[in-house]
Structure 1
Amino acid sequence: MKEKELLKRLESRGITLDAMLEAALKLYIGEEREKVREKLRELMLYYLEDINVGALLMAALLLEENFEVEGDPVNLVADELIGINIAEYIGGKMGLFNFFYYDTRKPGILAELPPFLDDAVGGFISGCMTRLFQGTVERP
């Protein structure tokens, strides 16, 4: 699935690239915010083209559309597993810790999303933020 197609599917659920960038930067403490935003935007677009990231985000989209869950039940862990896998795939083990940071605080759009999407998008955001600050700002 191409990045634009996936973005359209996410946007149909109210998840825009700008909303993901804003959520990511809500927990950012530092300077050069615009520079960080632009680099993060490039990184997000890069990973939206990755087949594995696309598959996991699409799985979350399809689960929200086809699997009825009321609220966010305590015994539901599949949503966390999707988010963790995206975060670790992009950001390695540090991405996992960043995932829990974003997951507990739910900045921006993450607070508005249903269970599968908040964790999948949270994993995507935290993985990209981790990758951005691992000393490799350029594409991997």
Structure 2
Amino acid sequence: MDILNKLNIKIDELIDSALMLYVGEKNEIPKVKEKLEKIIIDSLNNPNVSVLLIAAFLLDKEGKKGNLPFNYHDDPNYIYVDEVIGLAIANEIAGTKAIFNFRFYDKHKPGVIGKLDREGYMFLDDAIAGLLAGCMSKVFEK
């Protein structure tokens, strides 16, 4: 959460972003929100998820300084490691189903994901998409 706090991203913003793509009964939203918050917190405490989020943050930091071996600001199509980070996070949280859900979040970029993308965070937007895709997939496991 420290990195997210540095970017002024709060847990409520993550929850709201995840729920923007929610398809289900409206009366279930409070229960889904409660479960989702717990899953997000648990996922952020997973060292594998945390390290991948840190990696995304540091890659964006270095990219903005021009220290990556490609033109970071162009977000070239041949660079896909940003999606790999998002996929790895989604998979770590909820397995194969989350990988499919990642594509949905990456494509639509709801809430904070779109905000990060517009602010030029090439890696972190995909990392957060993976986090939310994994967590929302986990919500509906049981």
Q: Please classify the TM superposition score into its range, dividing by the shorter chain length.
A: 0.7 to 0.9
- Where does the alignment leave 5 or more consecutive residues of structure 2 unmatched? 65-71
1:84 to 87, 99, 105: 87
SS in 2 for 1:70: helix
Distance 1:21 1:71 in 2: 30
Distance 2:75 2:14 in 1: 21
Distance 1:19 1:84 in 2: 21
1:128 to 119, 135, 142: 135
SS in 1 for 2:24: coil
Can you list the C-alpha shifts for 1:19-61, whole angstroms capped at 9, x where unaligned?
1111100000222111100110011101111110011011001
2:114 to 104, 111, 114: 111
1:71: how far off?
Answer: 4.1
1:89: how far off?
Answer: 1.0
Q: What TM-score do you get using the length of structure 1 for normalisation?
A: 0.88
1:72: how far off?
Answer: 2.4
Q: What TM-score do you get using the length of structure 2 for normalisation?
A: 0.86
Instruction: Compute the RMSD of aligned alpha carbons.
Output: 1.1
Partner residue, 1:63: 59
Partner residue, 2:67: none
1:85: how far off?
Answer: 0.3
Distance 2:8 2:14 in 1: 10
Which segment is superposed worse, 69-78 or 115-124?
Answer: 69-78
1:124: how far off?
Answer: 0.4
Task: State the identity %.
Answer: 41
- Where does the alignment leave 5 or more consecutive residues of structure 1 unmatched? 1-6, 136-140
Partner residue, 1:47: 43
Q: How many residues align?
A: 129
Greater C-alpha Rg: 2
Distance 1:14 1:77 in 2: 26
